Amino acid sequence: MIVCVCNNVSDREITRAVQMGMQSMADLRRNLGVGDCCGKCGSCAKRIMRDAAAACPQQRGMSLAAA
């Protein structure tokens, strides 16, 4: 499923980014472009990050403060 239409970023790409160590929306924005245009994907991307982090022990406790 495409999460960020502006930059054609899927939920799988966001999940993989979390598994590779990205820990915040700022990381996603900087590396994938998520949320850097219209911003409508922000809440969905955060939810996917949270779910991915919960499933990935190394990423528990990640910061989503930088939206």
Residue ranges in contact with ligand FES by CB under 6 A: 4-7, 34-41
Q: In the complex with ligand FES, which residue's Cβ is closer, 38 or 58?
A: 38
Least Cβ distance, residue 13 to ligand FES (angstroms): 12
The DSSP result for 1-67, as a single string, is: -EEETTTTEEHHHHHHHHHTT--SHHHHHHHH-TTSSS-TTHHHHHHHHHHHHHH-GGGTT------
Nearest approach, Cβ of residue 31 and ligand FES (Å)? 14
Rounded least distance, CB 6 to ligand FES, Å: 3
